[in-house]
Amino acid sequence: MGNVNVNIGIIGFGTVGTGAIKILLEKKKELKEKTGINFCLKKIADLDIKKERHIKIDKNILTTDANEIINDESIDIVVELIGGINPAKTFILNSLKNKKNVVTANKALLSEYADLIFQTAAENNRIVKFEASVCGGIPILKVLSDGLTANRILNIYGIVNGTANYILTNMSKYGKSFDEALKEAQIKGFAEADPTFDIKGNDSVHKLAVLATLGYGINVKAKDIYCEGITEVTALDLKYAHKLEYEIKLLAIAKLHNHNLDLRVHPTLIPQKSMLAKTDFENNAIYITGDAVGPLMLYGKGAGMMPTASAVVADIIDIAKKMVNNSLENGIYYFNKQPLNIYPMFALKTKYYLRFSAKDKTYVLANIAKVLSDSGISIASLLQTETNEDGSAVIVIMTHPAIEKSMISALEALNKLSVIQGKVFALRVEDEF
């Protein structure tokens, strides 16, 4: 491969943009030695170009107008790192229409408009790469689109949000309350000032949409995915889970059932002995099973300036190599001609963890067992803790596999029992590790 120049324009000079620029500048010589390509940072656009980023750059390449990059005929690759839907969508689509290849980390945009973006890329014979949109520096999308091409993906289980995982780890290891663990995550920079997007599961939903789109070749949107956050999980739930030899993690789950795809994000009990359960604090992990390769797991830093920037630059390099070899066809963007159906949540069959407070009377368990039995749910194990000062007892039940629709019906009936105090709290269980 001869020495060639590839010109890059970056839109967004925030945390990830700063990291990507840092790598491109500081490793410019090393990257050229490895690839034979001279990566030229031609222009950087951001609304604030006066903020100090502690990077030595030519001020003349800074602009507040992204269109200076999009309309510059000399720029080969546009890197979008501003996030959000608009104006990022417009920037990406216009870049593709101007015959530029695109790198983005925008999971929210991809979870809504992947089909439009892929179609526009194909129509203009250009590439969109987005490794940094899921799990920071973990090359999971490369694995799905290239390394596992020979496989039918049977399932994907992901701990894909570092904020939620940091909170749950603190609650699990140190018995901290949700609020205490969240506050510590914010102090240490692992949670935003407004953490809603992370703790409610929305961020994980966007990432699962991207994973499922690549893994199964269908157009998955955020609205297709069931979502529950971690805000109702207590330190007691972690304590009881441990007694049952489980850990609780916020999981992004995609599972194949014949021609149906089960897609959901929720806090989940998983076996303590599993590798996934040992993914602690801000780390991410993806557990995948392919029909040929079997189970495998990728683990690492799921966020942060440099891990995410590493993925951005890897995409830039990948596109540059394809440009040099004149191979810009976007093969990974072809969806299945016979699309899978989204599995309805009410048809899900899984084990459940139930936790509730009840009056400490001899007939209580009989009443609870009858309600569950009437809904077709059988009890696998029962854990009764100490009696509270008000005379109530916390009861934890693990069920045998049951249908979600039946469990919803059972929970409604249980919550109406006079012996139950407060609402019954339920979590799903996954044992496939």
- Residues with a catalytic annotation lie at 207
DSSP secondary structure string, 356-397? EEEE--TTHHHHHHHHHHHTT--EEEEEEEEEPTTSEEEEEE
Helix (H, G, I), strand (E, B) or coil at 12: coil
Residue pair 155/256 in contact (Cβ under 8 Å)? The answer is: yes
User: CA–CA separation, 308 vs 132, rounded Å?
Assistant: 5
Report CA dihedral (369, 375, 381, 384) to the nearest 10 degrees: -40
Burial of 405 (0-12, 13-18, 19+ CB in 10 A): middle
Of 197, 198, 187, nearest to 161 (Cα)?
198
Residue pair 166/191 in contact (Cβ under 8 Å)? The answer is: yes
User: CA–CA separation, 22 vs 55, rounded Å?
Assistant: 7
Residue pair 226/235 in contact (Cβ under 8 Å)? The answer is: no
| Whole-number Cα distances in Å, 371 to 327, 340, 360, 363 | 62, 36, 18, 13
For residue 50, the 8-state DSSP code is S
User: CA–CA separation, 196 vs 250, rounded Å?
Assistant: 14
User: CA–CA separation, 205 vs 194, rounded Å?
Assistant: 18
